[in-house]
Amino acid sequence: MRKTKMFEGKRHVYNTEKAEECGHRDFGDFGDPAGYEETLYRTRGGLYFVVGKGGEDSPYPTEDIRPITAVEAKQF
């Protein structure tokens, strides 16, 4: 997945194929409309982002990329 997003006032390209996967977590059970999963990535430039996908009632009703700070990544 590849997307361009604004983060901290700058446009960045986030690409899961070129980034390093750093972690993964699940919330809820499979098939739960509020359940979702998140995968943490780190770019070569040191930026972090989360790819989330989940059920229709989750924070990720469609697969999406969310840029995060290094501090948030440490809490992942």
For the question of whether the overall pTM of this predicted structure is more than 0.75, the answer is: yes
pLDDT for 31 beyond 90: no
DSSP secondary structure letters along the chain: -EEEEEETTEEEEEETTTSEEEEEEEES-TT-TT-EEEEEEE-TTS-EEEEEEE-TTSS-SS-EEEEE-HHHHHT-
The pLDDT of residue 56 is: 95
* Overall average pLDDT of the 3-7 stretch: 94
* 3 pLDDT higher than 90: yes
The answer to whether 37 touches 26, Cβ cutoff 8 Å, is: yes
Spans of all domains in the chain: 2-74
